[in-house]
Structure 1
Amino acid sequence: MELEEVIAQRRSIREFETKPVEKVKLEKLIEAARLCQSAKNRQPWQFMILEDGRKDQVAEIMLQLFESHDEELPGFVNSSRHTAQIMKNAPVLMLVFREPDELWTPGDLLSIGAAIEHVCLEAVNLGLGALWIRDTEYTEKQICAYAGYPQLQLVSAIALGYPAEHPAPRPRKAPEALLLPFQGR
């Protein structure tokens, strides 16, 4: 598939088929991330691929947020409930970690974002769907402990599998709305 077509077809997939993802495709996703550019070539990312009960346990950790709260939690925290269900229904959950380093936080996070986008685009290229997940933020420490890496920072997660939906493109800003005119001297 041509790159422009891959970019145009990329969608956030929230419904997946039950079909497992082949190991060779998971290896290609990691290779796409590995080849990503990074600030000062730090390559700050580390990935973990979870399937079956292990990914479901991560979703359960996220759902524990709601066990002691009858009312809605503040802000976007409530989206974690829906995201956890998506994670349970996806065949694969990829966790994305980094070693904490305050001096490198902005550069590392930008680099990891680029690596995640490589994974999401390669997923489309391989006929897979992906959902880039931020909701792990609210239970990061518990998920890191469960995974056996309490010293790492969980930056994000990606739900992966064969798409069971084909959503229409979401509205995008016009190109002219993205470009700022120079107003300096």
Structure 2
Amino acid sequence: MEFETVVKNRRSIRKYQDKKVESEKIEKLIESARLCQSAKNRQPWQLMILQDEEKDQVAQIMLDLFETNVYELPGYMNSSKYSAWTIKSAPLLILVFREKDEIWDLGDYVSIGAAIEHICLEAVNLDLGSVWIRDTAYTEKEICTYAGYPDLELVSAVAIGYPDEDPKARPRKAIDEIVIKKKS
């Protein structure tokens, strides 16, 4: 697929067909992240591939936040419920970790964002859909413990599978709204 087409066709997919992602495609997704540029070539991402009950357990950890919390949670956290249901719908979940290192926070986060975008664009190229999930932040400690890496930082997750929806492109700002000029 032409790169411009891949970029234009990328959408956040939250509904997936009940169809496994082939191991060859999973390898290509990982390879796309591996080849990504990173600040000072640190390559700070560590990826964990979860399927079936393992990824469903991550979703359940996210849902448990609402079932076990005796305090009223802020409204912005409600999206975590929908993200958990998306994870359950998807056949594949990639957890994206990094080693905690305050000196490298900004560079690592930007680099990891680029690696995640490589995965999302490769997904389109492979006729898959994906959505980048940050709602794992509210249960990061529990998910890291479940995954067996309590000393790592869970930066994000990516749900991937064969799309069962075809959402329209969401509105984007005009170029003159995102390109600024140097002030005198």
TM, length-normalised to structure 2: 0.97
Residues 123-134 of structure 1: pairs in structure 2 closer than 5 A: 123-134=123-134
Q: Kindly provide the CA deviation profile for residues 88-134 of structure 1, in whole angstroms up to 9, marking residues without a partner as x.
A: 01000100000000000000000000000000000000000001000
Q: After the TM superposition, which of the residue ranges 174-183 and 42-51 deviates more from structure 2?
A: 174-183
CA distance in 2, matches of 1:76, 1:115: 26
**Is 1:62 matched with 2:74?**
no
CA distance in 2, matches of 1:183, 1:155: 35
Partner in structure 1 of residue 81 of structure 2: 81
TM, length-normalised to structure 1: 0.97
CA distance in 2, matches of 1:40, 1:68: 42
CA distance in 1, matches of 2:37, 2:125: 19
Partner in structure 1 of residue 20 of structure 2: 20
Secondary structure of the equivalent of 1:57?
Answer: helix
Q: Kindly provide the CA deviation profile for residues 127-162 of structure 1, in whole angstroms up to 9, marking residues without a partner as x.
A: 000010000000001000000001100000000000
Letter in 2 for 1:36: C
Q: Kindly provide the CA deviation profile for residues 68-102 of structure 1, in whole angstroms up to 9, marking residues without a partner as x.
A: 34785214211111110110010001000000000
Instruction: Return the offset for 1:179.
Output: 1.1
Instruction: Return the offset for 1:165.
Output: 0.5
Letter in 2 for 1:123: A
- Residue pair 1:72, 1:78 contacting (<8 A) in 2 also: no
Q: Which runs of 4+ in 1 moved over 2 A?
A: 68-72
**Is 1:115 matched with 2:115?**
yes
**How many pairs align?**
184
Change in Cα spacing, 1:11 to 1:156, as seen in structure 2 (3 Å) is same
CA distance in 1, matches of 2:161, 2:80: 19
Letter in 1 for 2:127: G
Instruction: Return the offset for 1:181.
Output: 1.7
Partner in structure 1 of residue 150 of structure 2: 150
CA distance in 2, matches of 1:164, 1:32: 24
Partner in structure 2 of residue 159 of structure 1: 159
Letter in 1 for 2:53: G
CA distance in 2, matches of 1:181, 1:116: 29
- Residue pair 1:95, 1:157 contacting (<8 A) in 2 also: yes
CA distance in 2, matches of 1:71, 1:78: 13
Give ranges in structure 2 of 5+ residues lacking alignment: none
Letter in 2 for 1:18: D
Change in Cα spacing, 1:138 to 1:25, as seen in structure 2 (3 Å) is same
- Give the % identical residues: 64
Partner in structure 2 of residue 174 of structure 1: 174
Secondary structure of the equivalent of 2:165?
Answer: coil
Letter in 1 for 2:33: A
- Residue pair 1:34, 1:115 contacting (<8 A) in 2 also: yes
Give ranges in structure 1 of 5+ residues lacking alignment: none
CA distance in 1, matches of 2:69, 2:98: 31
Instruction: Say what the alpha-carbon RMSD is for the aligned residues.
Output: 1.1
